[in-house]
Amino acid sequence: MVEESIEISSEDIFGLIAFSGDAKASYHGALHLLRENKVKEAEAEVAKANSILNEAHAIQTKFVTLEAQGKSARVGVLMVHAQDHLMNTILVKELLDHMMTMQKEINLLKGMN
């Protein structure tokens, strides 16, 4: 089987970085809102972040699918950097779920219900 080579566009790379960064900022914003006991606004910010993260994930999925089809790409430092941004944002999302639960409990204990 002959492997086909593809080129990863800078648009896709910077899309990964931008979408990941925007989603991460929204996750952090959600926690800040929750600290102020703005639960509905925080949940809306999480939904916004999830939607943005889905955009980044769609770009990554495109490359995984192409590679699974035998089409490889040369991966440079910029692509590694973009993947690092995405991975960190996914980690922030996972930790945020736990932190929001804890913050809701803290707000309740403070009488901020």
- Annotated active-site positions, please? 81
Q: How far apart are CA 76 and CA 94, in angstroms?
A: 27
Structural contact between residues 46 and 25, judged by C-beta atoms closer than 8 angstroms:
no
Query: Residue 92, class by beta-carbon neighbours within 10 Å (0-12 exposed, 13-18 middle, 19+ buried)?
Result: buried
Task: Show the DSSP H helices in the chain as ranges.
Answer: 10-35, 39-68, 77-109
CA angle (87 as vertex; 86, 92 as ends), nearest 5: 95
